[in-house]
Structure 1
Amino acid sequence: MIVLTDQQALTLHHLLTAILLNETYRISELEDAIVWTAPENRQILCPFDSLWSKNLAQEIVRLMNQPG
């Protein structure tokens, strides 16, 4: 189960809505959502998590912006 704060839930809701409606959103929202929804069984976050999240978010945006 994923437990989010109210602010995290609102941000995630905005992000998913923007993606579904093909509206603009911030890369930082996508990066945060990836971290927030990571497996909960990790007790210590890897120092590379934020870099990995940022790279994944950028790759998702790149793929979404490719024609056809």
Structure 2
Amino acid sequence: MTAELINSIIHPVLMKIKPDENDKQRFYRVYEFARKELEACLNRYLGNYFVEVSLQGSVAKDTFLKSQSDIDVFI
């Protein structure tokens, strides 16, 4: 297989599964909302015992797929 043929196969697939900038921004907005709500709640109930809320997984690593819709949040 030539590189041109491989690219002609891979490119359409990537366009279907790779999130565009709007997809990425949507995930980050949802995460920021969830993070703020979780931090407020945890600070209210745990005070100084609470450390942080962080984004993990494929969204954090920018390797998530367009059709996937989960956000991994660690406390």
Compare CA radii of gyration and give the structure with the larger one.
2
Structure with greater strand percent: 2
TM over 0.5: no
